[in-house]
């Protein structure tokens, strides 16, 4: 993550909004759950979506989104003024939301630095929807240009009472215009916020630009891990072990935010090469609760060629290899994928040998001990990711032959890293 990265801090107007709608937030919390009982994600909230259907020029659904307004700089010295209504955020009549950043023509519109140079839009679901855990996804075509800063992200719904960064922040996708091929996924919390946020970057191959096409940006969030993906390719996982003994601020409901900022400490200001208007086109936002680790799934796990994940020889001895095998239905192929992050068979855990983070480290059966080597996340992209190593369960040499040894490897999205439950 770039050292200059700053968090998408809550605007003053947005914080007032949360504080003045505390009763609404309390109702939401009562229906979406709290960190006190995180084990069953599906019980915490309903699924939610917006496909932005409606006539061209219409504003967003006010029952789903709240428009933020103001030009405070949001703690990052951003240059835009966020407007309400549909002047900077409108449907295009083709199933998209278009967020537009423009040069400002109103001399009476004031920002933190004087007359505002730009207008744009920022919208959130703080009044209408929050959720703890699940799959959060948006398909977006981002803009390009120096000083342009689009984002899809989330804030903890308790920000009005505990403040930022104690509320937690999950940046599903951020891009700064001078990096057209790269997006960033980051978490912020107490002791790891702002430039100290924990994140990673994902770059398109062969110099492709994110502005040239729509891409799907997602996180899978469970009680034990947050995993980021782009177009189904997993590129980062963060767990409570990563926060260095600080509070893991991701055990309660969050709300969604879409915005297009201009300027700020991280991207810098636009220059002569930056064209306006700039547009961030959002195809949809979907939230579900069915794509994180099931709390009680038991059955077979199949991979490349329809082969089953199997404990070699049906042995439950520590160190027994894990392999692919023809599906037989025997106990060596009966796995329990738990809400606690473990994957178990024959009374023991799927384990990365020696707790290694190296590509090619073999997986084995081992007595359950609660270490990161035994923590796994199953994502909507059908990756089974070891969160300790931030790598995917992988069939060696892309083989589907009987006896193929399973290992961990950098997630690449290949068929040898895709796993189906059932």
Same domain membership, residue 319 and residue 351: yes
Same domain membership, residue 78 and residue 106: yes
Q: Would you state the pLDDT for residue 321?
A: 97
Domain boundary among 259, 288, 317: 288
Q: Would you state the pLDDT for residue 119?
A: 98
Which helix or strand (DSSP H or E) is residue 364 part of? Answer: strand 363-366
Q: Which residues are the active-site residues? A: 169, 174
Cα dihedral 323, 325, 327, 332 in deg (nearest 10):
-40
Q: What is the pTM of this model?
A: 0.68
Which residues in 85-95 are b (16+ Cβ under 10 Å) and which e? eeebbbbbeee
Domain boundary among 237, 253, 288: 288
The string of pLDDT tens digits covering residues 219-268 is 998 888 899 999 888 899 999 999 999 999 999 999 999 999 999 999 99
Q: Give 365's Cβ-side CA count (13 Å radius).
A: 23
Same domain membership, residue 118 and residue 98: yes
Same domain membership, residue 228 and residue 90: yes
Same domain membership, residue 254 and residue 129: yes
Same domain membership, residue 344 and residue 272: no
In order of 41, 268, 326, 392, 419, the CA distances from 300 in angstroms are 22, 51, 11, 18, 10
Q: Would you state the pLDDT for residue 337?
A: 85
Task: Tell me the DSSP string of 291-324.
Answer: SS--SEEEE-EE-GGGPEEEEGGG--STTEEEEE
Q: In which residue ranges of the chain is pLDDT below 70?
A: 1-46, 290-296, 339
- CATH number of the domain that residue 363 is part of: 2.80.10.50
Same domain membership, residue 264 and residue 345: no
Residue 33 lies in a domain: yes
Angle 387-381-228 from CA coordinates, rounded to 5°: 50
Domain that holds residue 33: 12-288
Q: Would you state the pLDDT for residue 1?
A: 30
Residue 2 lies in a domain: no
Domain count, the chain: 2
């Amino acid at each position: 993550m770039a050292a200059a990265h700053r968090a998408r801090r809550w605007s003053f107007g947005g914080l007032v909004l949360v504080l003045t709608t505390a009763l609404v937030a309390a109702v939401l919390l009562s229906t979406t759950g709290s960190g006190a009982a995180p084990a069953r994600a599906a019980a915490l909230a309903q699924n939610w979506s917006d496909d932005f259907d409606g006539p061209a020029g219409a504003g967003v659904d006010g029952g789903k989104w709240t428009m933020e307004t103001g030009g405070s700089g949001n703690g990052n010295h951003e240059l835009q003024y966020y407007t309400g209504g549909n002047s900077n955020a409108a449907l295009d009549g083709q199933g998209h939301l278009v967020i537009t950043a423009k040069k400002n023509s109103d001399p009476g519109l004031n920002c933190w630095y004087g007359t505002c140079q730009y207008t744009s839009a920022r919208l959130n679901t703080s009044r209408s929807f929050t959720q703890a855990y699940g799959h959060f996804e948006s398909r977006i075509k981002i803009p390009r240009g120096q000083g342009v800063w689009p984002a899809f992200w989330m804030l903890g719904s308790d920000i009005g009472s505990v403040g930022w960064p104690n509320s937690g922040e999950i940046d599903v996708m951020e891009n700064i215009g001078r990096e057209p091929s790269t997006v960033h996924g980051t978490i912020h919390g107490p002791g790891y916020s702002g430039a100290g946020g924990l994140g990673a970057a994902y770059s398109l191959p062969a110099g492709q630009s994110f502005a040239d096409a729509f891409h799907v940006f997602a996180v899978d969030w469970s009680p034990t891990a947050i995993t980021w993906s782009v177009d189904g390719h997993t590129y980062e996982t963060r767990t409570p072990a990563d926060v260095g003994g600080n509070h893991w601020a991701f055990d309660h409901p969050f709300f969604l935010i879409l915005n297009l900022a201009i300027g700020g400490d991280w991207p810098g200001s636009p220059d002569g090469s930056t064209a306006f208007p700039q547009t961030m086109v959002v195809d949809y936002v979907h939230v579900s609760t069915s794509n994180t680790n099931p709390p009680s799934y038991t059955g077979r796990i199949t991979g490349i060629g329809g082969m089953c994940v199997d404990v070699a020889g049906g042995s439950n001895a520590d160190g027994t290899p894990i392999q692919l095998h023809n599906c037989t239905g025997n106990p060596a192929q009966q796995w329990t994928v738990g809400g606690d992050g473990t994957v178990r068979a024959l009374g023991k855990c799927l384990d990365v040998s020696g707790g290694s983070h190296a590509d090619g480290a073999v997986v084995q059966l081992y007595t359950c001990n609660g270490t990161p080597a035994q923590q796994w996340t199953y994502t909507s992209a059908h990756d089974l990711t070891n969160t300790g190593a931030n790598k995917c369960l992988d069939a060696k040499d892309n083989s589907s032959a009987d006896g193929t040894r399973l290992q961990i490897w950098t997630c690449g999205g290949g068929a040898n890293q895709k796993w189906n439950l059932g």
